[in-house]
Amino acid sequence: MSDQQGGLSGLSRGVRGLWHELLIALACLFAGVLVVPCLIFAVGRLALGPYAHGSILSFWHDFLLGLAHGSEAFWFIAIGPYLLLLMLRGGRRFMT
């Protein structure tokens, strides 16, 4: 009976780990869709001047349109925080 419970416990940990990873991925996607475009807008405004199409809301609208049209550049920005996290994890494993 204890072997069966140990197997279920391992499965439970795996499911918890999967949910944990999914929550991290969603948080990174949230940051990639909301925070990163705002940072890009702010840096672009400082370096290049005002955005030609208007305010930050116009910029974010254009960003969402780029995502909806499947533009690889826009999707790379959206998933960038998760990719950065994966690279940091891989670097940490490489260093230890």
**pTM of structure:** 0.77
Residue 54 belongs to some domain of the structure: yes
Contacts of 58 by beta carbon, 8 Å cutoff, 6+ apart: 51
pLDDT at 95 over 60: yes
- Evaluate whether residue 67 is within a structural domain: yes
- Asked if residue 68 belongs to a domain, the reply is yes
For residue 20, being part of any structural domain is answered with: no
| Total structural domains within the chain | 1
Question: Is residue 15 situated within a structural domain?
Answer: no
C-alpha 32/C-alpha 52 separation (Å) is 22
Q: Does 19 map to a domain?
A: no
Q: What pLDDT, in 10s, does the model give residues 1-46?
A: 444 555 556 656 677 888 999 999 999 999 999 999 999 999 999 9
From the list 55, 54, 80, the residue with the least C-alpha distance to 67 is: 80
